[in-house]
Structure 1
């Protein structure tokens, strides 16, 4: 593992993407920063973090062995790696909120952003950005956010958590290499937030509707059981699960 430590950067994902465009990257190169001035989450959302309080890093992973339609499994193993690391630390009531937020109870403690590197119409690598709230205690104007410190009262070592996540990611990667997609999908679905519970969703027109999360498709679409027993699939731009 090649570890690059920075005091501050606009975005660890952007930094690693620019670095990978300039030279061949070593697999499992990780860029970690104490502070991001322009951290990003899903759908262009900003990731706000106090300097030095949280774990913010990006990991470069070659995935040329996957077909383009299989790339969502990278998001799955990233989610499971964080989930397992936090589970080992006895963080309570963990769930994965589709597609890859990690919750403790109803509070978001981690966000994951996966960006692809494409060459000749083939996905060759991914950059996985992970932001985990570790020691930040104030989340004013950020609803449903919390940190490991707020939840447990314990101060954790950020580098130790980083290595735990990396170790679990490597173990799950072996399942990718062996094409054990069904096992990965089943484990991911076991931890899905609000699975099989009546839930409220917002569509892209801001309309609200009810449904039951049943799982995900092989391409990572969210499967929701609607009225009249209609099972419909949605991508990230089409639906938002409300807490």
Structure 2
């Protein structure tokens, strides 16, 4: 795999996207940055990160999806790869907060943003952006954020974490194309707050109670409501209150 290491960049996703538009990239080309000034999260949110402390990276993936309808399977493969990689470093109580936040206990330690482009021949190219809070200690005004260093009271080697994550992504993509059902089961079992009554807020700012049951094949969150019906929500339609 080819690794491009940058000192500072606005966004590794944007850099890699621009590179892929200019030249043929090797599958699993990686861009990392010590300082990312305009990191992106879901729905245009900004991912802030202390320079030099965390793992900020993007991975170019092609030929993994044959159909645009399979896009969420890549999300599952990557989210589980991050969980599985971090488990090898003994990070405790790892879960996936739908759709792509990585949690340890009740704290967010990482996030994933996957941007897909469909080529004229129908193939899908993906830019997988990952931000993992590794050695940052201070999270002022971010009460729900934490890092591997805070949780484990130890410093970590970012390069080793990167290599392990990419190895697991490759393994999971191979599994995705041969036994996707096993990945779905593992993803469902790792869902943050699954099966626990909790409060939500919809896009009309109305609060309601529900119980997470799973995720649909198109990536919608399935929530059991108080009347026992199941409703499905896209990322813009619901927010967990925890």
CA distance in 1, matches of 2:124, 2:90: 35
Partner of 2:78: 78
Structure 1, unpaired ranges of 5+: none
TM-score relative to the length of structure 1: 0.97
CA distance in 1, matches of 2:151, 2:239: 25
CA 1:64–1:175 in structure 2 vs 1: closer, same or farther (change >3 Å)?
closer
CA 1:44–1:12 in structure 2 vs 1: closer, same or farther (change >3 Å)?
same
Whether 1:198 aligns to 2:197 is yes
Compute the displacement of 1:64 (Å): 5.7
Q: Which moved more, 1:139-148 or 1:159-168?
A: 139-148
TM-score relative to the length of structure 2: 0.97
Compute the displacement of 1:63 (Å): 3.5
Q: In the TM superposition, what are the counterparts of 1:29-108 in structure 2 within 5 Å?
A: 29-63=29-63, 65-108=65-108
Describe the superposition over 1:132-159 as per-residue Cα deviations: whole angstroms up to 9, x where unpaired.
0001111112230000110011110000
Q: Which moved more, 1:115-124 or 1:97-106?
A: 115-124
CA distance in 1, matches of 2:114, 2:66: 15
Partner of 1:5: 5
Kindly report the root-mean-square deviation, in angstroms, between the aligned alpha carbons of the 2 structures: 1.1
Partner of 1:233: 232
Report SS of the residue matched to 1:82: helix
Q: Which ranges of 4 or more aligned residues in structure 1 deviate by more than 2 Å?
A: 63-66, 120-123
Report SS of the residue matched to 2:169: helix
CA distance in 2, matches of 1:123, 1:196: 37
Compute the displacement of 1:34 (Å): 0.2
CA 1:30–1:84 in structure 2 vs 1: closer, same or farther (change >3 Å)?
same
Give the count of matched residue pairs: 242
CA 1:123–1:44 in structure 2 vs 1: closer, same or farther (change >3 Å)?
farther
CA 1:121–1:223 in structure 2 vs 1: closer, same or farther (change >3 Å)?
farther
Describe the superposition over 1:155-211 as per-residue Cα deviations: whole angstroms up to 9, x where unpaired.
100000000001111110111222x22211111001100000001111111111110
CA 1:116–1:65 in structure 2 vs 1: closer, same or farther (change >3 Å)?
closer
Q: Which moved more, 1:65-74 or 1:27-36?
A: 65-74
Partner of 1:189: 188
Compute the displacement of 1:70 (Å): 0.8
Structure 2, unpaired ranges of 5+: none
Compute the displacement of 1:121 (Å): 8.0
Whether 1:27 aligns to 2:27 is yes
Compute the displacement of 1:66 (Å): 2.5
CA distance in 1, matches of 2:64, 2:174: 14
